Chain A
Amino acid sequence: MALPAYIDATTGAITDGEAWVAIASAEPDSANVQFVSTDDGQVGDFSQYMDLKIVGYVRSLYSGVSTSLYLNLNNDAGSNYAQQYLYGSGAAVAAGSVASTTYAYAGWIAGNTATANIFSAFTVDLFDINSGKYKSVIAQSADDRDGAGYVALFTNTWQSQAAITEIDLTGVGVTLLAGTRIDLFGVLPRMTPPSATVTVA
Chain B
Amino acid sequence: MAIIEAIATTYLEADASSVEFSSIPATYEHLQLRVNGRGTRATDTMYHYLQFGTGGGAVDTGANYAFHEMYAYSTTVGAVSGTGETGIKLHMMAAANLDAAVYGAQIIDILDYANANKNTTTLTHEGVASDPNMYFLSGLWDATGAVDRIKWSSPVGSFVRGSEFTLYGLKDNPTVN
A153 within 8 Å of B (CB atoms): yes
Contacts of A128 in B (CB 8 A): 36, 103, 164
**Cα A172 to Cα B134 with chains together (Å):** 24
A128 to B127 Cα, complex, angstroms: 15
List B residues 2-38 near A (Cβ within 8 Å).
Answer: 2-10, 12, 16-25, 34, 36
Residue of A nearest to B105 (CB): A136
A residues less than 8 Å from B132 (CB atoms): 82-84, 97, 99, 155
Residues 80-114 of A at the B interface (beta carbon under 8 Å): 82-86, 93-97, 99
Binary contact track B129-153/A, C-beta < 8 Å → 1, others 0:
1111110100000000000000000
For the A-B complex with A83-B129, A84-B131, A200-B12 known, give 8 more contacts whose Cβ atoms are closer than 8 Å.
A18-B3, A50-B9, A82-B130, A84-B129, A127-B34, A127-B36, A189-B164, A201-B17
Residue B128 CB within 8 A of the other chain: yes
How far apart are B123's CB and chain A's nearest CB, in angstroms? 11
- A contact residues, total (Cβ < 8 Å): 49
A118 within 8 A of B: no
Report yes or no: B166 in contact with A138, Cβ–Cβ below 8 A. Answer: no
Within the assembled complex, what's the spacing in Å between the Cα atoms of A189 and B10?
9
In the assembled complex, the Cα of A72 lies from the Cα of B130 at a distance in Å of 17
Indicate whether A190 sits within 8 Å of B9 (C-beta atoms), given known contacts A18-B4, A134-B103: yes
Query: A201 vs B152: C-alpha distance in the bound complex, in angstroms?
Result: 11
Complex CA distance for A125 and B129, rounded to whole angstroms = 14
Q: Which of A51, A83, A153, A194 contacts B125 (CB 8 A)?
A: A153
CB–CB B130/A19 < 8 A = no
